Structure 1
Amino acid sequence: MNSEIEGERPSIADRVLAVDPDGRILVDGGAPAAGDGVALALARRVVDDLAAGAGEQAIAVDQTNTSVVVDGRFVVKLVGRWAAADRAARLLQRLAEAGSDDVARLKGRVEWRHPRLGTSTLAIVTEYLPGAEDGWTWAVDDVVAVLGGEADPDWPAILGTRVAHVHDALGTDARQAGTDAAGRRLTRAAGALRSAVTAAEGPSGARLRNRRTSLERDIRSLGETRPGFEFPIHGDLHVGQVLASPAPAGSRRYTIIDFDGDPQLSPDERERPDAAARDIAHLLVSLDLVAAVAQKRAGRVDTRAFDWADRARTELLDAYRAALGRAELFDPGLLPGFEAEQLVAELHYADRFLPVWRYAPDAAITYRHPSSNDHPEEPWTPPPFAPTSN
């Protein structure tokens, strides 16, 4: 069930909503917060059996939006900026209409009809998954356990199947990409590599430069690919976008979240349809990143982590291809170029915003691409593990 509010400064739970000149959505002039009653009031617009006094609890997982657990049953995602969740709302609605259980079940959304700005999603209400953790926790825990002698987990194949279901649902209106698709993909990936090389410094920079030839070779392959089909993909798919929550008999339920698109792209670029292979490439790269984080957690270089990643990648890709009903959506020839692009994009992101994360894409690039030995380099080693670090 969906709902709508109207006006330039509508009142919700005796609080005034407004949009500032920068596009931020404000509640009484500030950021919304659990306990102010706004999340509950919005949830009651799309959920019939919510009591007026139901509780609110903050979830500190989203820096862009405000997520609040209401009544211990629902998550209300309050959008932080005008139009920031329109894409996610549309895709979740399509998945709900397709009967998908691969994402958190959508209860409804509240739209805001603004006299100057038009109509945009204000809040998305989904089911709450108690005890859920994202993949940077549960996946790393599982790989650390593998390093300790336990059997490989079964979730790579499960994720491959779930992503196939999502792509089948979102790809119902897939269209043939334009004849310029190969050139666009090549230009974007080549630019990502140049930016990463320019920004990289120190030991990781030397390792990157020694692997530039190999990365360039994979990226150049994008220029030789067919246009193929494009549709609205997830856009930012990695293990951190998969929640694992307790299920009956000690099992887990895996749920894909966050359909806002790649945060490093402009809003217009995020709206563009893309190839299914980009989601798969990003997810495969994230398995390598999990292997790097597991070695950091273990406090040593352990080649068995990337041995696991090799097996997990194969299992995920095999399961995806087996479950994908619309086989025409996926072109495996795009994977090498898309993976290379994502690896260098991860490294460049770390160099700009999160230096403590640099070690992970550095490890994956070092493992996946041979060195030209043009520059002296040190072997990759994980940084010391600290519970408060990334």
Structure 2
Amino acid sequence: MNSMMSGERPVVDGRALSVDDDGVVLVDGRRPAAGDGLGRALARSVVGDAIPADARERAITVDQTNISVIVDERLVVKIVGRWAAADRAAILLERLADAGSGDVDRLVGRVGWRHPALGESTVAIVTEYLPGADDGWTWAVDDVVEHLATGTEPDWPALLGTRIARIHDVLGRTATPSGTRAPEARRARADDALARALSSADPADGAGGARLHNRRESLARDIRSLDGTAAGLEFPIHGDLHVGQVLASPGVDGRRYTVIDFDGDPQLSSDDRERADAAARDLAHLLVSLDLVAAVAQRRVGRADTRAFEWSDRAQAALLAAYRAELSRPELFDEALVPGFRAEQLVAELHYADRFLPVWRYAPDAAITHRHRPTDDHPEAPWTPPPFAPTST
């Protein structure tokens, strides 16, 4: 069920919503927050009295562009931080819901806002709450740590490949030709990402900067491979696909895996997030995240352990094989794009760490060091994980 409010300052349960000159959504002149009652009121506008008027709210305590509130331990209400920030996700989740997808968080409804100056947009998305759910930076890392200790091989890489294929089959129904300049644009975007990463890395530091600069030619070689690829097809992909966007929750027959957060890549501009893209980008991002899981697992055990990346090699092969086997429209996936997209995502992870989360840099550093052959241009130390701190990743 959906609901719609109208006006420049609509009132929801006694609270006035507004949009400031920078596009920030405010409630009574402040940013929304868990506990202020807005999440509960928006949920009730969608489901009515199924949610009590005094239902409890609590925040989802992870860094987010938007504000997500758990209401009554039954629903998650994602309230946009900026005007139009949830439009993309709302459209894609509705499309997947109409197709009966069980691979994504179940859409309960959304709240629209018809603004006299800004037009119509989604202000909140209401989805099911999954009790006991963890994201992949917890459950996937736990499984790899367990693998290093006992040899137990996780089965979920193939399950993820199957789920992503089914999601792409639905979203790919609107696929269109990418255009003859697509290879050129992809190469330019990836070149840009590599240049940004190199510019902030000191090749004389003997550590991460030296390791990156020693692998710049290997990374550039994979990026250059984008020149020889076909334009192919594009459609609205997930756009920010990694294991952290996969929740694992208790299910009847074991774990249930649910893909969340279709807002697109937060490092891109809003216009770029809205653009269609190749399915291979989602796959490349997910594959890179398995290498990052391997790096985090090594940090957890307190040592470099090549078996973690050996696991990642097997996991990536299993994920790709399952994806290919399940995808009903193989023309959606051009595997020749994966090496270039992977190289771009690895250096984009470095750039993200440099800008927002420096303690994260060790993970893409590990993956690049493992995946790319070095030159001996700069003296470098072997990669080793930093000391483990539970709250730092």
TM-score of the superposed pair, with normalisation by structure 1? 0.98
Question: Which range moves more in the overlay, 37-46 or 138-147?
Answer: 37-46
Question: What is the aligned counterpart of 1:368 among 352, 367, 371?
Answer: 371
Which whole-Å deviations, capped at 9, do the CAs of 1:78-113 have from their partners, x for residues lacking one? Answer: 111101111111111111111111111001100000
5 Å-filtered alignment, 1:41-120, equals 41-48=41-48, 49-120=50-121
Offset at 1:38?
Answer: 1.7
Q: Which stretch has the larger CA shift, 307-316 or 21-30?
A: 21-30
Give 1:221's match in structure 2, choosing from 210, 221, 225: 225
Deviations 1:267-299 (A, max 9, x none): 001111000000000000000000000000000
User: C-alpha displacement at 1:151, in angstroms?
Assistant: 1.2
1:288 matched residue in structure 2? 291
1:147 aligns with 148
Question: Which residue of structure 2 aligns with residue 314 of structure 1?
Answer: 317
Give the CA deviation at 1:62: 4.1
Aligned length: 389
Quote how far apart the aligned CAs of 1:355 are.
1.2
One-letter amino acid of the structure 2 residue matched with residue 88 of structure 1: A
Aligned equivalents of 1:352 and 1:55: distance in 2? 35
Structure 2 counterpart SS, 1:148: helix
Provide the residue aligned with 1:170 in structure 2. Answer: 171
Q: Return the alpha-carbon distance in structure 1 between the equivalents of residues 19 and 63 of structure 2.
A: 20
Q: CA deviation at 1:61?
A: 2.3
Higher mean displacement: 321-330 or 28-37: 28-37
1:340 aligns with 2:353: no
RMSD: 1.0
Q: What's 1:27 paired with?
A: 27
Is the counterpart of residue 16 in structure 1 residue 19 in structure 2? no
8 Å contact from structure 1 (residues 178, 227) kept in 2 = yes
Q: CA deviation at 1:150?
A: 3.4
Q: Check whether the contact 1:176–1:228 (CA below 8 A) recurs between aligned residues.
A: yes
> C-alpha distance in 2, partners of 1:255/1:62?
19
Q: Give the direction of change, closer, same or farther, for the CA distance of 1:52–1:353 in structure 2 (3 Å limit).
A: closer
After superposing the two structures, state which structure 1 stretch, 174-183 or 30-39, moved more.
Answer: 30-39
User: What is the aligned counterpart of 1:209 among 213, 225, 238?
Assistant: 213
In the TM superposition, what is the alpha-carbon distance from 1:45 to its structure 2 partner?
A: 2.0
Letter in 2 for 1:18: S
| Distance apart, 1:57 and its partner CA | 2.0
Check if 1:389 corresponds to 2:392: yes
Following TM superposition, by how much is the alpha carbon of 1:63 offset from its aligned partner in structure 2, in angstroms? 2.7
1:230 aligns with one of 219, 231, 234: 234
Q: How does 1:237-276 map to 2 (within 5 A)?
A: 237-249=241-253, 251-276=254-279
Structure 2, gaps ≥5 residues long: none
CA distance in 2 between partners of 1:253 and 1:103 (Å) = 10
